[in-house]
Amino acid sequence: MIASLKKIINFLLPQVCVKCQKQIGSNLCENCKKTLPLIDYGCRICGQKLTTAELLCGACLNHSPPFTQTIAPYVYAEPLDQFIINLKFHGRLLYAKILGELLSEHLAKYYKTHAQPAAIVPMPLHKKRLKERGFNQALEIAWPIVKQLKIPILRYHCERVKNTVAQTSLNAKERQHNVKQAFRVNRELPSHIAVIDDVITTGSTMQEFCKTLKKSGVATIDVWCCARSSS
């Protein structure tokens, strides 16, 4: 009954690729997927794009972050940046589904040969920001991954207790100060978790959150994000 209803809906309202606008029965066609800005070589720990197949970037060699590894398939560039902007600032939740499905494809391949985390923790939003936006984009992106990998998501174990200003307007030093002591863990977490977010730029917010998780007793943190800034 449900399958038949979906077929009828797809027939009456055929899905259109968000990039090329062709009616192809899905939200992003295979041809457009091939044009997305993949990170060919990325630092194993922070995910920063590298020019060669080195394991670590210079920053991680000098000072290792509080997380174990980062899986970030794409560069934060056209059209991924527009997907994320449409999601976060225009409330178009369709892009959360697209981004989540893209990320889940890469995660499914990786975790065929690696130990999966026991749970997923979305990057928390402050309650004021959550009220303004109406949703947490990290949580929305996570749902297709939950479905694909069968890993539970812990929505209420952590919170952002400091209503930070937007990081985009700050330099690196200001960003670190802006997010200092911004998070709190409210419930016990598994020893191996994944933290998911939409995009990582300087990584200051992710580092501060993962420091808080480490202090709470988490041993292994895999960072998942759809896109990574190239600078």
Q: What is the mean pLDDT of residues 44-72?
A: 93
pLDDT band at 8 (very low <50, low <70, confident <90, very high): very low
- Residue ranges of domains in the chain: 1-35, 36-228
71: tokens are 């899986």
Nearest CA to 74 out of 102, 42, 38, 27 is that of 38
Please determine, for residue 120, whether its predicted confidence score (pLDDT) is greater than 90.
yes
User: Predicted confidence band at 2 (pLDDT cuts at 50, 70, 90)?
Assistant: low
Helix (H) or strand (E) holding 59: helix 58-62
- Residue identified by tokens 């065929």 is 112
Instruction: Give the whole-angstrom CA distance, residue 65 versus residue 211.
Output: 9
Average pLDDT over residues 150-163: 95
- With 60 as the cut, is the pLDDT of residue 10 above it? no
Q: What is the DSSP code (8-state) at residue 231?
A: -
What pLDDT shows up at residue 11?
45
pLDDT on residue 230: 75
What pLDDT was estimated at residue 60?
94
Give yes or no for a contact between 39 and 13, defined as CB atoms under 8 angstroms apart.
Answer: no
How large is the greatest C-alpha to C-alpha distance in the chain, in angstroms?
A: 58
* Averaged pLDDT, 119-134: 96
Instruction: Express as a percent the part of the chain with pLDDT over 90.
Output: 76
Which CATH number describes the domain made up of 36-228?
3.40.50.2020
- pLDDT value of residue 174: 65
